[in-house]
Amino acid sequence: MDRTGVDQLHFSTLDIYSHLLDEFNPSLHRLVSLGDSYVQAFQGLADKSDAYFTALSRMGERACHSRSLGDVLVQLAESQRKLTSELEGIFRWFQMEVLQEMDNNVRMDVDYIASSKKHYEHEHHHAAVQERQQRSRATAQDDHRRFLRVSHLEALQEEERRYRFLAEKHCGFVQSLTRLMNKTGRSLQQRAEGWTQEVSATRRQEPRMHSVEVVRGREELGTVPSRAPSPESRSSLGSFSELQGGAGGGAGGGAGGGARAMRALVAHQPSGASSTLLPFNRGELISVMVQQPRNGWLYGRAESSVRPGWFPASYVGSLDEPPKSNVSSNLSLRSMSTTSSQLSQSGSSFQSHAPPPPAPPPPAPPSSSSSSQTTKDRPPHELFPRGTNPFATVKLKPTSTNDRSAPKLRR
């Protein structure tokens, strides 16, 4: 080995000692500080977790009428608290076996590495002096080179020893977490599947709630009218092809007492086999035979129906209004029971009366020669058909006036 190789070996050894003193030990000291912050953060998380799952367990204990669901909540909370407690044990081991060991080693290592470097420099200087003073320079050079190789190997071993210590400690930390996951992960997963099945079982036992499709807000429906509207309002009912062909005329003719065409915004599929309610699908064309809703209900006939019936007025709209998407809203048990009772009462009321007469077939189109004569012979349309005048039962209260400006009448 020439002189250049000897100098490179010497400077490489000094570089290893400088790296351990100036880089490794300060970095290890900062790592210990970060690890302490890590442990403190987990301890805060564990405290919050314990408070949260303690509150969850108390809520489960207060479940009076849902005992099975309450038991699931209690078991969930206990399992989570047990898992957090075991994690706290692992972090205590991490703090004692990793952080404290690193902190102790970095304090002692500063003096040890500094003394090792100083000893090496002293021996190197002594070997160089002997090499210059001895008569046999070849033997002195061999001893000096051998010393440099051994010192460089020892410096490398010192560096590897410190990094091996750092890696082994953290491998132990990861292995502790892995053992915990293998110990509790599979059993916890099986228990979680069982809890999920118990919760699903309670869902299947819930009473079925009727759903009402909301169109233009929730509209309160009264009792279904006890009878069909007057046949007079159905006399001008035409075929659906005529209504579709003259939608504007149908809508305008409705104001005069005839049927008007409207479109179903949502589907109406009444439960039960009630013959008084009209079923139809969304987007279907409906011929409405009454002009104003009665207790929130309209009367008419759908394309797919062979008989007329009652349906909620909010379920239909004008022909220009597109059908709306179905929006299901679960009503409360009280409102649904009220509606069901009303429908059952209305159904019994309908059954007590004779079924409404079917609508007459559309009249044949008149010929051009007899159209004028038919118009003359048609009876005038009644504003209020017999028995439907809303003012017939109005009773006026007698009034008196004390107007002094009125003239005095002498009888």
pLDDT attached to residue 341: 47
Report pLDDT digits (tens) over 111-125: 888 888 888 888 888
Question: Which residues make Cβ contacts (< 8 Å) with residue 248, sequence separation at least 6?
Answer: none
Q: In whole angstroms, give the CA distance from residue 305 to residue 278.
A: 8
pLDDT attached to residue 198: 87
Q: How many residues does the chain have?
A: 411
Q: In whole angstroms, give the CA distance from residue 248 to residue 283.
A: 18
Q: Which of 140-154, 323-337, 384-398 has the highest mean pLDDT?
A: 140-154
Q: Mind giving me the DSSP string for 258-305?
A: S-EEEEESS-B--SS--SSBPPB-TT-EEEE--SS-BTTEEEEEETT-
Report pLDDT digits (tens) over 258-281: 678 899 998 888 876 677 888 999
In this structure, the number of other CB atoms found within 10 A of the CB of residue 56 comes to 17
Residue with tokens 């909010």: 314
pLDDT attached to residue 293: 87
Instruction: State which fold the 3-204 domain adopts.
Output: Substrate Binding Domain Of Dnak; Chain:A; Domain 2 (1.20.1270)
The pLDDT of residue 371 is above 90: no
Q: In whole angstroms, give the CA distance from residue 104 to residue 188.
A: 39
> Mean pLDDT for the chain?
74
Comma-separated ranges of CATH 1.20.1270.60 domains in the chain: 3-204
- Extended beta strands in 27-119, E state: none
In this structure, the number of other CB atoms found within 10 A of the CB of residue 79 comes to 17
Comma-separated ranges of CATH 2.30.30.40 domains in the chain: 213-360
Q: In whole angstroms, give the CA distance from residue 277 to residue 351.
A: 12
pLDDT attached to residue 399: 63
pLDDT attached to residue 34: 95
In this structure, the number of other CB atoms found within 10 A of the CB of residue 337 comes to 12
Q: In what order do the strands lie in the sheet with 285-288?
A: 309-312, 297-302, 285-288, 260-264, 316-317
The pLDDT of residue 169 is above 70: yes
Q: What is the DSSP letter of 311?
A: E
Residue 303 sits at φ, ψ, to 5 deg, of -60, -40
Q: What is the DSSP letter of 357?
A: P
Residue 355 has which token pair? Answer: 């079924």
Residue of 61, 85, 65, 62 whose CA lies nearest to 74: 61
Q: What is the DSSP letter of 178?
A: H
Among 92-101, 229-238, 366-375, which stretch is predicted with the lowest mean pLDDT? 366-375
The pLDDT of residue 344 is above 80: no
Residue 355, amino acid: P
Report pLDDT digits (tens) over 397-408: 666 666 566 566
Q: In whole angstroms, give the CA distance from residue 288 to residue 286.
A: 6
Q: In whole angstroms, give the CA distance from residue 292 to residue 255.
A: 10
Residue 236, amino acid: S
Domain 213-360 has CATH 2.30.30.40: yes
pTM value surpassing 0.75: no
